[in-house]
Structure 1
Amino acid sequence: MYDINKITDPSFIKNLSIQEMQVLCDDVRTFLIDSLSQTGGHVSSNLGVVELTVAMHKVFNTPEDKFIWDVGHQVYTHKILTGRAQRFNTLRQYKGLSGFPKREESPHDCWETGHASTSISAAVGMAYARDLKKENYHVVAVIGDGSLTGGMAYEALNHIGHTNRRLIVIINDNEMSISQNVGALHNIFGNLRTNASYLKTKHRVKRLLKNSVVLKRLMSRAKVRVKRFVIGESLFDAMGFKYLGPIDGHNLEELIKNLNVAKTVDKPVIIHVKTKKGKGYTYAEQDKQGIWHGVGKFNKETGSICAVRDQERISWSQHICNILIELSKHDSRVAVITPAMINGSALNDYQKLYPDRLIDVGIAEEHAVTMAGGMATQGMKPFVSIYSTFFKRAFDQVHHDIARQKLNVVFGVDRAGIVGADGETHQGIYDIPMLRPVPNLVMMMPKDAKEAGDLMYTAYQIEGPVVIRYPRGEVLKVDVNYESLQCVRVGSWSTLKAGGDAYIISMGPILDEFVGLAQQLDDELGMKVGVINARFIKPLDTKLLDELALKKVPLIVYEESAVIGGLGTAILEYYNQTKQEVDVRRLGIPDLYVQHGSVKEILEELHLSLQDVKQEIKQVINK
């Protein structure tokens, strides 16, 4: 057995036999299950690539050779082998080990990721840099079959395929991304994996050639022709790659042999590796719903996830799904589009009830948005469910294809605001500054479950695109009834508490806490602080802003979003345009990338806690 905590670098693997490496793999799996049960994290993806990662470090030499991991949530074994096991008790925690590759953590991490389909482009860039500088090292991109549904991966493959530059792309094919994979490529992989004629012929030939060196040499030259005759030329062969596979991703001997072959090829190489997500942990192996993709703490013996949910509350994602179900009952034009996030966006119930109206396009945000536009031109009412952090990929499509044509596409921007443990690549803090300048677009955010239903109902009465933002957390569970839904006047805000000394302007669920804070200041200090629900981020309630200007009181604009270009900026712009002098204080995310940690810890670090808001109010009133 190996003391995983004492591993400092992967060089020791060079001297291990296959049997010793298998023991190492078993010990790494045990360590991962033990550690992740205490911290939570990405379980299935990491258990599935243990042998692949060990084999890569056996054949290649990092940091000289470069490993680029697509998405990056499968790098835990890589982190262990490069000396970071001792920090795994801090995984995805405030100031702790990142759940993704992190260049500042180790020289063995040469590229940071968090979004899908970027690895091959980065690898191409490194290969070009190597050749232009006349250096000599290997560049290896590891990409899942789910990430290959993203168009950026194809752009990179198309570019590099016929350049003859040395580059190795490992396709980690586990037949499952976060949600079930979709698309033609998935079917191509199925054919490559399961063609019975080819596999039967391959095993028979191996038996015949077992003791014949001469015949082995002759037949190896014919191997590609046989494969193409039985299966047909693969997509990757046609694109100019040498294709190796499919290979058992848990067979160390096969992995090492093919990785060594790839090192000798003077052209781009695809290595097709077949792995099993959750390998070695029964509960994760049997998961078909993506539950073990990313989890909190869990009981490793029973497989029960430790998070306890208040029965009176549900996730915001689930509540939005419930509203969509209710709308769809009464309007056959409503349909839902998701870029491979059925589970993440809690759309499973909708899929069960309306399988024909739930469209999963794979990891293809740009396609999802423009497709929705096409549906809207034909009278449909598409709802695109998309994480805030992934929405950035589709800015041009929102701007050019949807807003310009005033198409009524409703975008459900999930995970808006600070998301916590996933860190800087997943924080939902840029959608407001990104989308606010887009003409014809309405942007809103509900404060509670009732308002969410009304705003969603309103969204389908608007000409043009609508964005409705909602956070990652939970909301009080309420029944959604179509007859009780009401239209809200576009651009109207509501005053939750009147004030005479200052006003807090904000949006979303935090408003309830601000009402409590304002009442506390009133009771304890006699400060009359008002609270306004800016449920429409665009357009602004200019009538109410004019009334506030006449009060001559300071306004504290709070947003769990980038402060540059946000709601506070919009209010300042309006007052500047109308030449009204108002003391506007903006509290939001400063000009930096927000790291991982709990939402509470992050808000405290950024001076955006309730206590910080309280201090700001006291200062502006007492100045």
Structure 2
Amino acid sequence: MMRLADITSPRDLRSLTPPELVRLSKEIRVFLIDSVSRTGGHLGPNLGVVELTLALHRVFDSPSDRVLWDTGHQSYVHKMLTGRQDFSGLRKEGGLSGYPSRAESVHDLIENSHASTALSYADGLAKAHRLRGESERCVVAVIGDGALTGGMAWEALNNIAASANPVVIVLNDNGHSYAPTVGGIADHMAELAATGTDERPKGNLFENLGLSYLGPVDGHDIAALEAAFGAAREAKRPVVVHCRTRKGNGYPLAEQDTRDHLHAVGSFDPVTGQSAAQPAATWTQVFGDELVRLGTERPDVVALTAAMLHPVGLAPFAKAFPDRVFDVGIAEQHAVASAAGLAAGDLHPVVAVYATFLNRAMDQVLMDVALHGAGVTFVLDRAGITGDDGPSHNGMWDLSLLQAVPGLRLAAPRDAAQVRAQLREALDVRDAPTVVRFPKGAVGPDIPALARFRTLDVLARTMPHRERCDLLLVSVGAMARVCTTVAERLAALGFAVTVVDPRWVKPVDEALCELAADHEVVAVVEDNLRVGGVGSALSQALREAGLANPCLAYGLPLAFPRHCARDRLLEEMGLGVTALEQQLRDVLTSHLPLSRRMTMT
């Protein structure tokens, strides 16, 4: 009897009997629960695609046939069946990525972990196959977990239908993304799923577009899935196979988790489902609680989310004000433009998204919000390096991209107190977009200011008796604790350092230029790209003010970081305490005037 450990290639599945496939499905689920409970990861989505993945790999011949996953977090079973069964280091340095990874396997063609993209890849691949005369190759796009709510998916469907190329679209319809899928598309899917083949509604959206439609198919019946996939393959044209699956299937704790079906988890007890980590206040929770308070005080405050009500902290607001929260599905562009409409209607919308996903809506931030002077507040969760989820989820572009938006004001809180204060300040702005950004994880203790210099918070000042200090260290947001620790270490070496938190980092505060005039060297530390970030903006402001101070930007390199622990990545990139201290010590030693260096020796 073949076991999971015996599967080294999808072709090994071809010889299995129906009873053997059932046993293998159960073994895979046990493996998933055991592995993900130890490492954390996306559990619910993968429990729901076990049979679907087995059937796919029995009908299609990967990697000759291209199997694409949208979203990529539902690809764990695919990894197992393509020779990757060591999940001990899942989402950790040196271990498997939590998403498809070209570096891991020829069976992974695209590394998509932003939703609603795979159909566009499929359209392009099918066209390439036709032009190259590769008529026997098939392109399969598995789209699920709410990805069909994204507008880009429908742009692709429009083109796929017109092309008549052989693309098999596997709709993994589990009714959820992080939360229940919303909108007219979700309602239509539910209507299709509620009827048999002979009773299908005449207004089938896919058939009206010109696509063939098969289903609904029980997504946990391997024989039915294989029959549908085989028919789709033989059709030699675009076909939608509508598969109804249950998120978390086969694991009662996930099936009963009505919030998100144990969608994404840290390590947990597989018997109780309880987290193994001690609960700690997170940046997200601080934001969510403060927004409820603001909602109580201000009836004009409304909130928008792109299918991530719980992950971005809007669930408490939704519970308190259910008619003032709008979940638009995985549609960030629409969320931002809709927010501009809400602002035009004299409300103040708060758009809460992961920082990495704001990239998808930059045109709307520019042309629909900023151009119109709309009072919209963007709250960017998971800003900076997030680490475990890999390159696509690091929120490391926002401080650079948003520098180009006229009139936009950007706050980077250093602690929980500042999240609360700066969120309130942001909501007081009614004629321009505002942004509040913070990182992933526990928020930690507050970092009180020692003093104020104009509008700046002074967090540390070593050797305050000195008229002219050696270093002005500008801390951006959550880098404050690193900066104050580095200042203490540099002070022990005899350097006079001032650490300031500008709080609002765009536009550049004029007080920074005034303070810089009393320092030999200026350095900016930000959890963002060095290119075009706060350091670049301050350097330009200093030049325009006629100051010649060296202004050094310490941020992230222009690269896609591998999946790895956040602290490890920051240290490698020069933003950890040890690395930053060494760099600044070398700079100060070389830049200080000779007379000052002599007094230190």
Give TM-score, length-normalised by structure 1.
Answer: 0.90
SS in 2 for 1:336: strand
* TM-superposed deviation, 1:57: 0.6
Amino acid at match of 1:328: G
Q: Does 1:265 align with 2:239?
A: no
Q: Does 1:414 align with 2:381?
A: yes
* TM-superposed deviation, 1:514: 2.1
Of 493, 498, 505, the residue aligned with 1:530 is 498
Say whether the 8 Å CA contact 1:491–1:538 is kept in structure 2.
Answer: no
* TM-superposed deviation, 1:169: 0.1
Of 265, 273, 276, the residue aligned with 1:303 is 273
Amino acid at match of 1:120: L
Of 478, 503, 520, the residue aligned with 2:472 is 503
SS in 2 for 1:181: coil
Of 197, 208, 215, the residue aligned with 1:238 is 208
* TM-superposed deviation, 1:120: 0.5
* TM-superposed deviation, 1:595: 1.4
Of 505, 512, 518, the residue aligned with 2:487 is 518
Amino acid at match of 1:263: R
List per-residue Cα deviations over 1:521-550 (Å, max 9, x = no partner): 32x3232211010211111112332331x2
Q: Does 1:389 align with 2:359?
A: no
Q: Tell me the residue number matched to 1:543.
A: 511
Q: Tell me the residue number matched to 1:468.
A: 436
Alignment partners' CA distance in 2, 1:137 and 1:491: 66
Say whether the 8 Å CA contact 2:3–2:24 is kept in structure 1.
Answer: no
Alignment partners' CA distance in 2, 1:280 and 1:129: 39
Q: Tell me the residue number matched to 2:345.
A: 378
SS in 2 for 1:96: coil
Which moves more between the two structures, 572-581 or 234-243? 572-581
* TM-superposed deviation, 1:337: 0.7
Amino acid at match of 2:89: T
| Superposed counterparts of 1:84-233, under 5 Å | 84-85=84-85, 87-135=86-134, 136-144=136-144, 146-195=146-195, 199=196, 226-228=198-200, 231-233=201-203
* TM-superposed deviation, 1:418: 0.9
| Distance change in 2, residues 1:239/1:82 (3 Å) | same
Say whether the 8 Å CA contact 2:479–2:525 is kept in structure 1.
Answer: no
Amino acid at match of 1:510: M
Alignment partners' CA distance in 2, 1:531 and 1:543: 13
SS in 1 for 2:379: strand
* TM-superposed deviation, 1:75: 0.6
* TM-superposed deviation, 1:317: 1.1
List per-residue Cα deviations over 1:495-521 (Å, max 9, x = no partner): 222352212111223313422332343
Q: Tell me the residue number matched to 1:37.
A: 37
List per-residue Cα deviations over 1:161-211 (Å, max 9, x = no partner): 13221110000011111112110111111111113xxx4xx7xxxxxxxxx
Alignment partners' CA distance in 2, 1:470 and 1:606: 19
SS in 1 for 2:561: coil
Say whether the 8 Å CA contact 2:487–2:499 is kept in structure 1.
Answer: yes
List per-residue Cα deviations over 1:194-242 (Å, max 9, x = no partner): 13xxx4xx7xxxxxxxxxxxxxxxxxxxxxxx445xx223100001111
Alignment partners' CA distance in 1, 2:176 and 2:409: 36
Amino acid at match of 1:75: S
Alignment partners' CA distance in 2, 1:12 and 1:448: 53
Alignment partners' CA distance in 1, 2:363 and 2:238: 31
| Distance change in 2, residues 1:18/1:585 (3 Å) | same
Amino acid at match of 1:270: V
Alignment partners' CA distance in 1, 2:154 and 2:475: 42
* TM-superposed deviation, 1:574: 1.5
Which moves more between the two structures, 122-131 or 612-621? 612-621
| Superposed counterparts of 1:348-363, under 5 Å | 348-363=315-330
How many residue pairs match? The answer is: 577
Say whether the 8 Å CA contact 1:491–1:539 is kept in structure 2.
Answer: no
Q: Percent identity?
A: 38
Q: Tell me the residue number matched to 1:448.
A: 415
List per-residue Cα deviations over 1:260-286 (Å, max 9, x = no partner): 100111321000001111111111111
SS in 2 for 1:179: coil
* TM-superposed deviation, 1:291: 5.7
Q: Tell me the residue number matched to 2:70.
A: 70
Give TM-score, length-normalised by structure 2.
Answer: 0.93
* TM-superposed deviation, 1:3: 4.1
Which moves more between the two structures, 469-478 or 13-22? 469-478
Q: Tell me the residue number matched to 1:575.
A: 542
- Identify unmatched segments of 5+ residues in structure 1: 203-225, 479-488
Amino acid at match of 2:37: S
Say whether the 8 Å CA contact 2:412–2:478 is kept in structure 1.
Answer: no
Say whether the 8 Å CA contact 1:143–1:169 is kept in structure 2.
Answer: yes
Say whether the 8 Å CA contact 1:2–1:27 is kept in structure 2.
Answer: no
